[in-house]
Structure 1
């Protein structure tokens, strides 16, 4: 997930005082969880709530007695949205701080900067962000949705509401290109036709000519895996052109970082999405999570998809440590590979032993007054894209990010 967003959500997330500084303690006294996130800079709309969610999960684990009779301590580093710092801090966490696990990374590039260091030092690594799929590495566990998990659900829902002629607008990089291919596949699988496909660099913010092209193509539906603050302009310009009520919109990215709070209701209402989380989910687990967040931070407005994925990732790791009865990396991996589950704010989270990705509930939703209204829940969606290329049970030494052919 490569994102280019500045302060469009600035001020919605408050940092705990020590979030940007590492803390040190004897390994004999505590269990050490390492974190590397962009808690400042252009990606902080994602990194700050992720850091808050990670610390909330750790606080809850500690309040319930910790793990293996020890408290969990966070060693957290802020990369300041500087990609070079990911490698530096990964080395520091593993070689100097000697942490027991690392949760971190937002962009796919940051994940890859961390992943090889974690593998070489045999430090267990959790990546908790939606991404393009295909990573196959026994040392990593991934808790965000992959394109097939959400696109396979979103496309038929949107087509049933709107029609079979689909126009696709996508960000011009790995995530957008791969997701566009999945959209085309599932459009065809559901008897539809892709009548237009355009890609846009992340800095493009003028979509006037594109909107004119879409008007000429006259699709029934536009699906937009657009990414970043510049691309957010499309949704505003679409509404300003009077198109929102004429041709419905769906997106695989809008709302992941609470972008719906930036759009007015008139600009956002009715846009269709599919994710693992919405604050509107009416479940005991989500109610408890929001109450804990409110008590800790005083404001629930900054909870979003990647924050919840991070919270669920820490809780999954903690359950595996308890099950393993040890901090030994291989013992914890063995526990995770039994297919353990937790009940998180977004629903049931189950580890897929074959890929180390999460099997997740996916919720079909529509924006309504800057909220994500849940229309339908599809339980336990498999990461079928990565399952098509990755089998760690058969090839435990694999270390590849596959480009999935569709």
Structure 2
């Protein structure tokens, strides 16, 4: 309706032609637990919008943004999506989590509009769960698990692994899925045991007993979990005298939780970029400083970065399409192969609107201090059938 009204205004004789702004709608959580993920990524997206506007805009027009609070609620997410459509959004940015972002994304899909999940890392946040015009700005959880498998095998000579899965959310299962796919494929590598727990379990004593009953401690423990359960599990593992290298996914990036695990060492995660000022790419630190200038503080974790990336990629596709039409922009996004971004190359295809391989920075915590220790890109993409396995 917005575009029809604009065309009608242009058709009225005697009225000057005025360029219409391009509008991005943010259906994201400004309250509830998801706000901690959505707000940093949405802030990063707006930083990229400001940069584009300062450089002349998009298709000769300025980008404006409107927002609606999903309140970390699925029903409210659907309402927020409809509200933004009524408000004239040309594209929609939705919450980091698939379950909470999908209702708004589905509203956008029903209008033929592009949607981007801020940082969802489940394959359903795209073609497989929403539809052909939906994408994610982040790297799949399975890639993170596969990265930890291949990196630890190559760099730390890991040959035995124990998999410890926190079953609370699909993201955790995705990390373990990628590790389970990659590690046994590597020369001499074996998963010697696996166990599960729930994020709010007060104790993982029985799981620790099973690890300690192994003939030898595993070289690595693949801990697929998120805070606060991940911090509790790490503390208990170390208190029990288990000194295996502990691996996890990007969701535990950041130093905010380290008070719960005093003097922690031997803990490694893969991230899209470093918040610690030691990323080898100067563009990443330039963003960290821009974020600090905008908010008064540096990013607390690397989950801010996908917001910046998604606006960058969408804007490139819009310029190439010469339009904000969803189908036209999707066609251009699907042509991207190793498209350069400040955080490494990105690829979309007609089969997958996520990253099933990506360059990751390897952050290791030593004596409670996180720092980039390496960079790694998995040797082959995670196959679609592995991503879809449940």
TM-score, structure 2 length as denominator? 0.83
Corresponding residue for 1:118? 108
Two-structure CA RMSD over aligned residues (Å): 2.6
Partner Cα distance (1:275, 1:362) in 2: 5
SS at 2:203's partner residue?
Answer: coil
Q: 1:66 aligns with which of 51, 57, 69?
A: 57
Corresponding residue for 1:157? 151
Change (3 A) 1:31 1:341: farther
Partner Cα distance (1:170, 1:339) in 2: 34
SS at 1:231's partner residue?
Answer: helix
SS at 2:373's partner residue?
Answer: strand
Corresponding residue for 1:127? 117
Establish whether residue 313 from structure 1 lines up as the match of residue 293 from structure 2: no
Shift of 1:31: 0.8
Gap runs ≥5 in structure 2: 7-18
Establish whether residue 186 from structure 1 lines up as the match of residue 182 from structure 2: yes
Shift of 1:266: 4.2
Gap runs ≥5 in structure 1: 1-25, 390-401
Partner Cα distance (2:380, 2:120) in 1: 14
Higher alpha-carbon Rg: 2
Partner Cα distance (1:130, 1:82) in 2: 16
Establish whether residue 255 from structure 1 lines up as the match of residue 252 from structure 2: yes
Q: 2:272 touches 2:360 (CA, 8 Å); kept in 1?
A: yes
Corresponding residue for 1:211? 208
Q: 2:144 touches 2:178 (CA, 8 Å); kept in 1?
A: no
Pairing of 1:195-210 with structure 2 (within 5 A): 195-210=192-207
SS at 1:349's partner residue?
Answer: coil
Pairing of 1:97-112 with structure 2 (within 5 A): 97-112=87-102
Change (3 A) 1:206 1:132: same
Q: 2:146 touches 2:175 (CA, 8 Å); kept in 1?
A: no
Shift of 1:301: 4.2
Shift of 1:309: 0.7
Partner Cα distance (1:366, 1:281) in 2: 13
Q: 2:268 touches 2:362 (CA, 8 Å); kept in 1?
A: yes
Q: Which deviates more from structure 2 when the two are superposed, residues 81-90 or residues 359-368?
A: 359-368
Shift of 1:37: 1.8
Corresponding residue for 2:76? 85
SS at 1:300's partner residue?
Answer: coil
Change (3 A) 1:176 1:82: same
Matched positions, count: 361
Establish whether residue 288 from structure 1 lines up as the match of residue 283 from structure 2: no
Pairing of 1:7-406 with structure 2 (within 5 A): 29-94=20-85, 96-133=86-123, 135-136=126-127, 137-160=131-154, 161=156, 163-172=158-167, 173-190=169-186, 191-217=188-214, 218-243=217-242, 246-256=243-253, 258=254, 260-264=255-259, 266-279=262-275, 280-302=278-300, 304-339=301-336, 342-358=339-355, 360-368=358-366, 372-379=370-377, 383-386=381-384, 388=385, 403-404=388-389
Change (3 A) 1:380 1:308: farther
Shift of 1:86: 0.9
